[in-house]
Amino acid sequence: MTAPSPLWSTLTDPLVRQNPVMLQILGICSALAVTTSMATALTMAASLTVVLVLSAGIISIIRRHIPDAIRLIVQIVIVASLVIVIDQILQAYLHDISQKLSVFVSLITTNCLVLGRTESYARLNPPVPSMVDALGNGLGYSLVLVVLGSLRELFGAGKLLGWQVLPLAEQGGWFTPMSLMLLAPSAFFLLGGLVWALRSLRPEQAEPAEFVPPVTREAGE
Amino acid sequence: MIRGIWDRETVALLLLAAIMPMALTFLWFGGSGAIGRLALALIVAGLWHLIFMLARAQPPSFAGAIAALAVAMLVPEELGMLQLALGISFGSVMAELVFGGWGRNVVNPATVTLAFLGFSFPAAPWPELVLPIAWAAIPAALIGVGFGVMSGRIVGGAVLAGVFALAFGVEPGPVLPAAGVVLVLLVCDPVASAATGGGRWLNGLLYGGLVVLFMLAWKTAAPVQIAVSAALFSSLAAPLLDEAAIGLWLARRRRRHG
C-alpha cells in the first residue's frame, strides 16, 4: 500500500483528525450563532469555505510580495473584499437566508479560522497546497456546522431543511419541540458533547492534565 | 487525611435523611403520580450512575437519590416520560457525572435538570406545591443544619433577605413556600453552594434577593419557576462569592498584620 499523497492528507486531515472547530476551537462564534437551522448552517458553511479557499489562493500567490510588517492588514483587506462579494451575492439571490444570517456573513472577515489558515499556511506555501488546505478546513468547519444545525433543527422544531420530519404534538403527532435547542446555550452543550465524543474516540486529541491531584490515603493505611 | 465516618456517603445519607420529611409529605399528598415521577427519576439517575461506574470507575452516590427527589418534586407537570428522562439524563450527566461525580460538580444536577426542562418546554406548567411540603421544609432545614450537612449561614442569609423584603412591604404570597422548599432542596446543597463563611451569608442573601427581585419584576413566572431560577443564578455565582469572601478576609488580614 502506498502512503497517501501529501495533498490528499492536507485535504482530509482537517475533517476529523485536525478539525479546526473541534480540536482547535476556532471560529466557534459563528458556528454557534448560525446553526439554528440547516439552511442557515449550510449557507454559512458554503460562504466561509468559498472565502477561505479564494483568500488562501490569492494570499499564497502574492506571498513573496507581502511585506511582513503589514501582512495582517493585507490579509484582512483581501478577506474583507471577498466577504463583501459573497455578502452581496447572498443578498441578491438568497435574500431570506441572508436576512437570517444578518451580520455573521460580514463577520467572516474576522473569523479566527480564516485568518488562522491564511496566516499559518497560505502565507508560507504555494497556491495549490494552500487552497487544498483551505478547502479541507472549510469542509471541516462545514461538517461541524451541518451536524450542529441538523441536531438543533431536528430537536428544536422537528424539521430538517424545512421539512417536517418528526410529527408535532400540536398537529396530532408525538413530538414536542425543545425550545432550548433554538437558544444559544444548546449550541454550547452540543459542541461540548461533540468534542467530548471525538476526544473519547481519539484520546490523542485530549489535552494533557493541567493539574495532578496529590496522592491521598485513607486514615487506616 | 482523617475521615473517620465522615466520608461523602455519610453526608449524602444525612442529607437524604434531612429531606425525608419533605419527601414523605410530597408522596403523601402527591399520590400515584408523585410516586411514578420519583421512580422514573430514581431509575434514570441510577442508570447513569451505574454507567459511569462501569465506564469510568466512579463510585455511585446516594446524592443521585437526592437529586431525583428534588426533580420529582419540582419538575414542570404534563411532561412525557421521554422528556423527563431526557432532562434527568442531561442534568445528572452534564452537571454532575462528567465532572467526576458528586462532590466535584459546579452546579446542582437537579437545578440543571429543572432549568433544562423549563427552557426546553416553556409551555409545560410548573407545579403548585401544597403548603404542608413547605412546612416540612422547616424541620428538614433544622435536621440538615443540626447535623452540619446544610449551612445555617445560607438559610440565615436567605431568611434575612426575606425579612428585609417584608420590612419594605413586599407581599410574599405563594412565592414564599416555593422559595423555602427550593432553598432546602437546591440552594443548601453543600457541594454547589458557597464554601466559606462569608460566602455562605452572601449566597443566602443573593438567593433571597433574587427571589424578591424576580417576584417583583417577573410577572409571568410561576412561584417554583422564580425559586428555581434564583437557585440556578445563585449557585452559578457561588464561586464568585467565595472569591469575594476570601478577598475580604485577605484585605482584613493585611490591614491587621501589615
Full DSSP string of A33-59: HSTTSHHHHHHHHHHHHHHHHHHHHHH
Contact across the interface for B121 and A178, Cβ inside 8 Å: yes
**How far apart are alpha carbons A206 and A210 in whole angstroms?**
12
pLDDT band at B252 (very low <50, low <70, confident <90, very high): very high
> Cβ distance B32 to B72 under 8 Å?
no
Q: Sort out which chain B residues have CB atoms less than 8 A from A219's CB and list them.
A: 1-4
Higher confidence at residue A177 or residue A152?
A152
pLDDT above 70 for A221:
no
Distance, CA of A160 to CA of B91 (rounded, Å): 27
**Per-residue DSSP letter, A164:** E
Predicted TM-score (pTM) of the model is 0.83
Q: Above 60 in pLDDT, residue A220? A: no
Average pLDDT of B42-48?
A: 93
Which residues of A fall within a CB distance of 8 Å from B80?
176
Check if B98 contacts A (Cβ < 8 Å): yes
Q: Interface pTM (ipTM) of the complex?
A: 0.73
Nearest to B121 among A176, A196, A217 (CB): A176
Exposure string (b/e) for B180-198, b if CB count within 10 Å is 16 or more? bbbbbbbbbbbbbbbbbeb
Mean pLDDT throughout B81-91?
89
Q: How far from the centroid of its chain's Cα atoms is residue B91's Cα?
A: 13
Do residue A219 and residue B121 have CB atoms under 8 angstroms apart?
A: no
Confidence band (pLDDT; 50, 70, 90) for B111?
Answer: very high
Q: Which of B93, B119, B232 would you mutate first to test chain A, the one with the most A CBs within 10 A?
A: B119
Look at residue B2 and tell me whether its pLDDT is greater than 60. Answer: no
Interval A63-116: pLDDT, tens? 888 888 898 899 999 999 999 999 899 889 988 888 888 788 888 888 888 888
- Å between A179 CA and nearest CA of chain B: 5
Q: What confidence score (pLDDT) does residue B258 get?
A: 74
B91 in Cβ contact with B79 (< 8 Å): no
Domain boundaries, chain A: 7-205
Sign, CA dihedral B24-B25-B28-B29, equals negative
Give me the mean pLDDT over the B191-216 stretch: 92
Q: Write out the three cell numbers for B169.
A: 412591604
* Domain parsing of chain B, residue ranges: 8-257
Of the given ranges (A98-112, A164-178, B116-130), which has the lowest mean pLDDT? Answer: A164-178
Chain B residue whose CA is closest to A189: B94
Residue B124: pLDDT over 80:
yes
Question: What value does the mean pLDDT of chain B take?
Answer: 89
For position B123, what pLDDT does the model report? 80
DSSP state of B7: S
